[in-house]
Structure 1
């Protein structure tokens, strides 16, 4: 059986001009990055009226795998086969998980976007530009202090650290400025992974270059000795940071194995950030195609909630249908079945584990958007298991579940799913209602998410978080949307608690105000903004030969 990278390397893509032409883009509307990649020039012309937006999300991820990106790509190809002018809008992979535990992140099997190696590695340089822009700001802050500190910035109260797009636990806590008088002012600091940078969130929520610059100027970088906030605008470097992102802000155009246009842009994680591709990328798909298929990171409790409560108000368009991806293997895992036994038929475990899927379906239906379920089928799944899951979903929840085989069959493996999505988009009305209101405060927002999405009972703040909340209330920041930073593996803030637990407490240890992005991050449990590498990183399997052929990427 061929690996994902072997399948991708054997594929023959169409010239990128031909892919652009499918979206009505001329040669002069794109900037070429070789033969098979391009950036779409801004502004992007077109209208979104009447065009359909499909959001793909999933159950909580497990080691058994869910295949959300694979289903997203397969669904896009199936919609194209059904005669719909379709574009897929995805996030860019981060080198952290590529080299760490996950490997590649461009779909799988016959449902992939290509060129797979380029997209997973350096692509068009967007993440490098974000890293450089973020760390340039950090350098300018330290230089300002070294050169006399005209703004009176308290080095102990700087909130802007540095970033790197690789998992590196050794950089979670560092001391900078060592080396004497010429080495700057010593202070304690830290590194996050690039996808957790506020600049990534700004890139993904901005509507054009000037909006991006406006948001950059609002970034909180720290506080003065008098405990007054200091922003990028105070430092007078907003323009310098924005210009470093002048190319990164343009959405990237590639294609699927079946030549459906794919717009890949931005890549915040959903466990530590808001988990959605850029508004510019999604809007490009909406403007240039009749059907835009996008995804949100990790399970629906994280990425989809943030898509609906953070991205939608900025996007100005609600999804017409939500697709929730589930696998029978993962649902059995949620019932306590061990990994080696997941290939054995177990209807009782499937029924127990399906509680996780049921909660995600019920959660998404709260928003007033039609929901369908995609069963991403594995070869070990039995007909009895598929029939049992379909019956559970349809009789107990009143939504339709579709059997999909996109890994093996590409778009042909999602024919029924595509038909169901088309029917839902064109016949079922949406009555979208966000989870909380614009004038709700942070505690109300978090309580709504914890009780109505996670299934918990309450939110508990650490002493530090409680002090921060009082400060935010005094400064008028407490009515910004909240971005929950939480483990992706559980509805709780404990990764080991599977299934659909109830009546638990979510513990918020710290808040991070991201004023440029326009939300407040709530760090819960033991969540980290700089991941570490596993004992056997995916990088151990990777290689390149004398001809430049890459192996082991996934």
Structure 2
């Protein structure tokens, strides 16, 4: 069988002008990056058309370490919808180089459900991540320069500075560092560190902004730290927002590419879902909805993370709502939640599927709490037996959920046509708009408790003394009306990654708080969350190569 990159390299790509024409975009509106990529102007967003489009959210059950194929399903579903005559676009996040070179590999789909050119999308693409990194690090440089300044100092207390530099790479050595060890002229030594670019607040801001003016305002609202007198300092106090926005003048524009079956794909932004909102930009989603009748998008990790934040943060911020949710489930993940070891997931075990289905049921309950209809997608792998698939189908039907098997990875749109037909009928019959889990007027602790109890299934929420102190400070600064973006492991519904399946009678422990005041949300941190991942023992990078003609291999 061909590898993902071999399939992509053998694909017949249309010129980007032809892809744009499918969405009614004139050639002179494109900013082309070669033959197969282009940036799109924000003027293509039409709020009236946004309200008429059918948005479909793809989410998943709690994933195995390898993931359950949300992006592959999203792309395959878009291809399937196109094959049954729908005007469709798929809107996705941009991959981060950290996972690309780490353990998960690329994020452009897989098999015969990919977006292309996959090498470009997975690597530097159109430079959006680099621009975000530069804007982030410019603010860091301006902060350090002001601390060093004798004539223009704001009196920032270096011990309170929260802002870190970022880099789009997994590099554990940069998590905690001491900077400015160059002597008297080299700055003030500070304990600091690096975040991965996908975890930067600049990424979150880009993905929640409505336009360039909104982007600039949000960046000015970034909370940096305090003066020695306890006064809060923001990026606007350093006059940083103008230069930062200038660096992002092109990055704010969505990128147009295509699927293997030449369906239009908009790819823009890439915040992680375990520490940020985990979905592509508001601008890209609204642009897709302005240009297509059906728009397929996805949110990271399981529904407890990506979907919850998609609804409570993104949809509330953008004034949009999905007409249906596709919940991706795999036989291997259900066996994992049913007690099987990772090494045993290819062995047939219908009983483990049945046991692990409690995790699926909880995610279906979560989606129902938002008031939006769900369709379960069984993303089928080669090792799955017919008996195991039938067990999962019966469980879904007993729960009253519509269900379809997807084989987009192996067969492209031929393997997703049934799923597409069911989803289209569900969407066209749906009049619902989502219900948020909490009100913005709720006290912060109540917002957290509503998420933890309704979405995770927790019994109690426990705040550490440090978290209580930080929360009081952030509420005093006026951040109490913001939505909350809980940072939590993606490996469990709880904050303990070892609790698989559907844990019960567990508590959520909020260790500390962070704030993304520019993005506009508070971040309660449950457990220990890494904003700078490390590479695994055998990084994916070691299997990649390029030949003398420039052909890349080993990227998947």
| Normalised TM-score (structure 2) | 0.98
Partner of 1:513: 515
SS at match of 1:156: helix
Partner of 1:320: 323
Partner of 2:38: 38
Q: Pick from 108, 111, 122: which aligns with 2:110?
A: 108
Distance 2:156 2:51 in 1: 48
Q: Describe the superposition over 1:310-349 as per-residue Cα deviations: whole angstroms up to 9, x where unpaired.
A: 0001221100000000001110011111233222221111
User: Is it true that 1:221 corresponds to 2:224 in the alignment?
Assistant: yes
Q: CA deviation at 1:459?
A: 1.4
Distance 2:129 2:267 in 1: 12
Partner of 2:473: 471
Partner of 2:502: 500
Equivalences for residues 154-553 of structure 1 within 5 A:
154-395=157-398, 397-553=399-555
Distance 1:44 1:334 in 2: 44
What stretches of structure 2 of length at least 5 have no aligned partner? none
Q: Is the 8 A contact 2:74 2:296 kept in 1?
A: yes
Distance 1:337 1:181 in 2: 58
Q: Is the 8 A contact 2:163 2:224 kept in 1?
A: yes
Partner of 1:126: 128
Distance 2:51 2:461 in 1: 40
Q: Describe the superposition over 1:337-363 as per-residue Cα deviations: whole angstroms up to 9, x where unpaired.
A: 123322222111111001111100110
Q: CA deviation at 1:150?
A: 2.3
Distance 2:141 2:478 in 1: 29
Q: Is the 8 A contact 1:164 1:191 kept in 2?
A: yes
Q: CA deviation at 1:45?
A: 4.1
Q: CA deviation at 1:283?
A: 0.6
Q: CA deviation at 1:368?
A: 0.5
SS at match of 2:158: strand
- More divergent stretch after superposition (146-155 vs 201-210): 146-155
Q: CA deviation at 1:476?
A: 2.1
Distance 1:431 1:518 in 2: 23
Distance 1:517 1:428 in 2: 31
Q: CA deviation at 1:502?
A: 1.3
Partner of 2:94: 92
Q: Is the 8 A contact 2:154 2:227 kept in 1?
A: yes
Q: Is the 8 A contact 1:319 1:369 kept in 2?
A: yes
Q: Is the 8 A contact 2:453 2:460 kept in 1?
A: yes
Q: Is the 8 A contact 1:441 1:480 kept in 2?
A: no
SS at match of 1:104: coil
Q: CA deviation at 1:505?
A: 1.2
Partner of 2:7: 7
What stretches of structure 1 of length at least 5 have no aligned partner? none
Q: Is the 8 A contact 1:59 1:325 kept in 2?
A: yes
| Normalised TM-score (structure 1) | 0.98
Distance 1:473 1:406 in 2: 47
